[in-house]
Amino acid sequence: KGYQNPLDPAALQANASRMTEITGQADVGYTDLPRWLQDISGKRLANSPKHKVALNARYTMNFQKGSMMLSTNYVWRDDSEYDVFNTPAAIAEGYGKLSARASWTSSGDRFTVALFGANLNDEIAHDRGGAERRATPASGPAGQVYYQAYNLTPPRTFGVELQYRIY
């Protein structure tokens, strides 16, 4: 008594599942700015990808002694420009990351144990960055050299999380 097969079709209705999708498009830029040194009107905002998609699926199985929740999400981000001048040296390629989580929560909601994995596809990408312009003797009187600097996304990561609620 008290056992519920989570794969039983009758039990599936009693369990909670959820799937969400978030998509976005940002066509943003600078307009009507004072022109001090360089006109950036019409340029894209720094660090704002034109497209971003986030998908999340979650399934919860309820049992007499607690509940188990399985969750996964995928986030894709379009190319990003990391300076207001839209310099080709300061553009980072788009990337996608897959993450997952499984957790058990006691029936009294007193404790939770979770296993998780982030960036499961091990996508090493440029999360943010920029390009520094420097005129050097080697670049000549009209040229500039660009030094690129990027922050990388964290590599594939796994972990365990323990929660105990005092109330």
3-state DSSP of 55-108: EEEEEEEEECCEEEEEEEEEEEECCEECCCCCCHHHEECCEEEEEEEEEEEECC
pLDDT tens track for 99-115: 999 999 998 889 999 99
pLDDT confidence of 45, banded at 50, 70, 90? confident
Among residues 61, 50, 62, 2, which one has the least CA distance to residue 26?
50
pLDDT of res. 148: 74
- Residue 151 and residue 129: Cα distance in Å, rounded? 6
- Of the listed ranges 53-62, 81-90, 148-157, the one predicted with least confidence: 81-90
Predicted confidence (pLDDT) per residue in 113-156, tens digit: 999 999 999 988 887 777 776 666 665 555 566 677 778 889 99
Quick one: which of 115, 120, 130, 131 has its CA closest to 154? 120
Residues 98 and 57 sit within 8 Å (Cβ to Cβ): no
CA 81 to chain centre: 17
What does the chain come to in residues?
Answer: 167
**Mean pLDDT in the chain?**
78
